[in-house]
Structure 1
Amino acid sequence: MTDTQPTTPQPRGPVDHGVRNQIVEAATEHFSLYGYEKTTVSDLAKAIGFSKAYVYKFFDSKQAIGEVICCNCLNQMRQAVDEAVAGADSASERLRRLFGTLAEAGSRLFFQDRKLYAIAVVACEEQWASARAYDAHMQQLILQIVREGRESGEFERKTPLDETAHAIYLVMKPYLDPLQLQHNLDFVEVAPAQLSSLILRSLAP
């Protein structure tokens, strides 16, 4: 539906994807076990048997490694949303699935791997490129759904398109943004259905 995608940070150093993947895999395991903040580049180098200097040939900082892992996590959420939305036969159903799948995918990551979820939170707090791209993709997806709903006659056309899409984005943000989702988990089972129904009533022509 939309071409916007979270972008993986550009690699540096030798073109050796095997080593780069080893570093990312080791970092994913360490971050999952000990957390992003408590893991150092030295820890990662030791885990894979490389010197810290060699790791720096591929990544210029711990954040650069975290960016790749964060991008992988957010890509999983984005793909789940895109697949759910693509299978709907109306703009109204796409909007419902967008909201529901976002909340489901985010809460699943939160409960299954809290420390990796914490990386996504840091990325949103510090506005990493992976988090910005993920957010932009979701905004574009909302805009596209609203546009299609207007074209099909499902949604009203009086309110400016950008204003409508942005308002929906703001309503969804507590369940779209990992930083905010962690504070809204008590309502994650009921909020997506209730809020999407409210949005759809407001969009009726």
Structure 2
Amino acid sequence: MSLPERDTRQSIVDTAERFFRDIGYQKTTVADIAKSLRMSPANVYRFFDSKKSINEAVLARFKGELEESLSLIIAEQRSAGSRLREMLLTAHRINQARFADQHRMQEMVCAAMEESWDAILGHIERFDALLGRVIAEGIANGEFRALDPVAATQCIRTAMLRFQHPLLMAQCERIPGPTAEEMIDFIMAALEQPKAEN
């Protein structure tokens, strides 16, 4: 793909995201996006074959930014526990900043889950791979208990769901429960080797 084509694709995604935030995914049309960019809808369709594929691109950018942040934490030279704790907090904070009180963006993610489940599954697989890598390191170096790293990863993802899923983040605010930090403390306590008694 040439640089001008990449720039045009990026402009379409930027514009779509702005419309999704301002008026919502359902109300946004390809014609709206095209008009804002002074393009014809047919020209937009040269780059994206449907509104669904534009939504997937917006979502992929969001998820890519999150995955990149987690990858940078993994690369740091420190304990598995401190990296895992920061990864979970970072995932929560990024999602909170992006989706808290953003009902229209929550709508976009829900549409992606209904229309583009494969895109969501791809992100979950990559997210699990990142968490699993740090968990496996912690198990291998004796920092964490001898657990199945795949099962541990899935349990942690499930435990953190209310702090990362856009709809659950909004709905669970009204349900008594732990803070993200308290849940992460609980997860870390479940993973860590018990302290030797004197």
TM-score by length of 1: 0.79
Structure 1 position 183 matched with structure 2 position 171: yes
Distance 2:153 2:100 in 1: 30
| Cα RMSD (Å) | 2.7
Does the 8 A contact of 2:100 with 2:170 survive in 1? no
> Using the alignment, how far apart are the partners of 1:101 and 1:163 within structure 2?
22
Matches within 5 A, 1:45-84: 45-84=34-73
Amino acid at match of 2:151: E
Residues 88-125 of structure 1, C-alpha deviations (whole Å, 9 max, x = no match): 61111122112111111111012485534532332234
Q: Choose between structure 1 and 2 for higher RCO, CA contacts under 8 A separated by at least 6 residues.
A: 1
Over the matched positions of the two proteins, sequence identity in percent amounts to 26
Query: 1:91 and 1:47, CA in 2 relative to 1: closer, same or farther beyond 3 A?
Result: same
Matched AA of 1:171: A
Tell me: CA distance 1:26–1:45, structure 2 relative to 1, closer, same or farther (3 Å): same
Q: Partner residue of 1:160?
A: 148
In 2 relative to 1, CA 23–127 (structure 1 residues): closer, same or farther, beyond 3 Å?
closer
C-alpha distance in 1 between matches for 2:178 and 2:14? 35
Give the 3 Å change call, closer, same or farther, for CA 22–102 of structure 1 in structure 2: closer
Tell me if the contact between 2:52 and 2:116 (Cα under 8 Å) persists in the aligned partners: no
Asked if the contact 2:56/2:116 (under 8 Å) is kept, the reply is no
AA partner of residue 171 (structure 2): H
Task: Give the alignment of 1:42-121 within 5 angstroms.
Answer: 42-87=31-76, 89-111=78-100, 114-121=103-110
Q: Is the 8 A contact 1:143 1:165 kept in 2?
A: yes
Note if contact 1:77-1:102 (Cα within 8 Å) is conserved in structure 2.
yes
Taking a change above 3 Å as real, the CA distance of residues 82 and 192 of structure 1, as seen in their structure-2 partners, is farther
| Structure 2 residue ranges without an equivalent (≥5) | 194-198
Counterpart AA for 1:18 = D
Could you tell me how far apart the structure 2 residues matched to 1:120 and 1:105 are? 15
Cα separation, 2, equivalents of 1:18 and 1:95 = 35
1:20 maps to 9
**C-alpha distance 63-18 of structure 1, shift in aligned 2 (>3 A):** same
1:136-155 matches, within 5 Å, as 136-155=125-144
Q: Deviations over 1:170-193 (max 9, x none)?
A: 112222333433323468x96222
Which one-letter code corresponds to 1:149 in the other structure? G
The letter of the residue matching 2:28 is T
Q: Which residue of 2 aligns with 1:3?
A: none
Deviations 1:137-162 (A, max 9, x none): 111122112111111111111x4332
- How many residues in Structure 1 have an aligned counterpart in Structure 2? 191
Residue 197 of structure 1 aligns with an amino acid whose one-letter code is D
